[in-house]
Amino acid sequence: MTHGSDGPEVGGRQVAEVGEPALADRCQGAVWGQFVGDAACLGSHWIYDLAELARRFPGGLQGFEAPAAGYYHAGKMPGEFTHYGDGALVMLRSVAELGRFDPADFGRRFVELFGGAYGGYLDHATRETLVHYRAFRAAQPDAPYAFQDGADDDQPATATRLVPVVIAHLADGALNEAVTAATRVCQNNGRAVAYMKCHALILRRLFQGEKLEGAVLAAGRAMEHDPAYGAELRDKIETACDSLPLEVGEVTRRFGQSCPLASSFPAAIHCAIRHDGDFAAAILATAAAGGDSAGRAALIGAWLGARHGLAGVPAAWRERLAAREEIAALTDRLVARALS
C-alpha cells in the first residue's frame, strides 16, 4: 500500500492516519480505485494475445498507455476512461446529486450520453439497452419508462460503476433492492444480478473493516442461498482463493480472459487478493493478463480502495485522471450525504 508522508487524503484534505482507515476514507478509496483501475487499462484493454501485448509494449505495461489507432478506444487520451469509466461517471453524478440510486434518473443520463453523439465504444449491454429504450419510446412516446429492461448481458458493465450505489445505500436497508435495480438498467440478467449482489457484499464487508480474503469468502457463502448462481459463485470464489500461489496471468487464463462475469469476476478476486496492499502491482498484473483488463481492474481498484482507503490508491495515478476534479467534488458530496 502506498501512503503519503502526511497520511491519507480525503476530498483533497490531509487527515492524520491512525490505524485502519475510517469508513469515509474507505468509501473515497473505493470510488477513486474504481475509476483509476479503468483508466490505467485504457490503452491495453481487450488485447487478448499476450505476444501482441509484448510487441506493443516492449518495456512492459506502466499504466495509462494511449490506445493505438484501430483499437477499441482509439482517439481517447491517457487519463480518460473506457466506456466502462464513462458509464461510471454518469452513475457517480446521478447518485451523488440525488443521494440515492434512482433508475429513471441514471437511465435518462445514460441514454443522453451513449444514445447521443458519444464517440467511444458501445458494448453489448449499452447497445441492447438503447434498442429496448428506443422501442419503448416509439410505442409509447409519452409514457414513463422504468429503465428495468436492459440487455440480456452477463458481462462487467454494472460491476464497473456500482460503488456509489453501495455507498449511498450502505445503511438504509435497501442495498439489495438498489443493487438489483442498478443492474437491471443495462443488464436484465439473473447472473449479472447475482454477481452484483456479491460485489456489493464484498464492498460492504470491506467498508466494515474486514480483510479482503475473508470478505470475499464470506460474501461467497452468503450468496449460497441464490438457487441459480449461489453454488457457481461460491465455487468460483473458492477456486480463486485456492489459486493464490499461482501467477495472475495463469489464473486469469484458466478462468478466461473474456468479459463474462463467470470469468472476469473470479479472476479479479484472485488478482486483488494476491496483490492486496499494492494497488499498482494489482492493476498492472491484470492488465498484463490481457483480455477484459479494464473491467477486472475497475473491480480490483474498488476492492483495494475500500480495503486500504484513499491512500491505497496511488496519488500520482489519481492525478492522471482527466475527470479528477469532478470526481473529487462528487465523491465528497456522495460520502458526506451517505454518512451524515
CATH code at 9-338: 1.10.4080.10
Question: Which residue bears the cell 476512461?
Answer: 81
Q: Please give the sequence-ordered ranges of beta strands (E in DSSP) within the chain, or none if there are none.
A: 9-10, 13-14
Phi–psi pair at 115, nearest 5 degrees: -95, 5
> Would you list the domain boundaries of the chain?
9-338
Strand 9-10 to strand 13-14: parallel, antiparallel, or no bridges (unpaired)?
Answer: antiparallel
Query: Of all helices (H) and strands (E), which one includes residue 307?
Result: helix 293-308
Q: pLDDT by residue for the chain (340 residues), tens digit each? A: 222 222 333 333 223 344 899 999 999 999 999 999 999 999 999 999 999 999 999 999 999 999 999 999 999 999 999 999 999 999 999 999 999 999 999 999 999 999 999 999 999 999 999 999 999 999 999 999 999 999 999 999 999 999 999 999 999 999 999 999 999 999 999 999 999 999 999 999 999 999 999 999 999 999 999 999 999 999 999 999 999 999 999 999 999 999 999 999 999 999 999 999 999 999 999 999 999 999 999 999 999 999 999 999 999 999 999 999 999 999 999 999 999 9
**Residues contacting residue 209 through CB under 8 Å, at least 6 positions apart:** 20, 26
What pTM value is reported for the model?
0.94
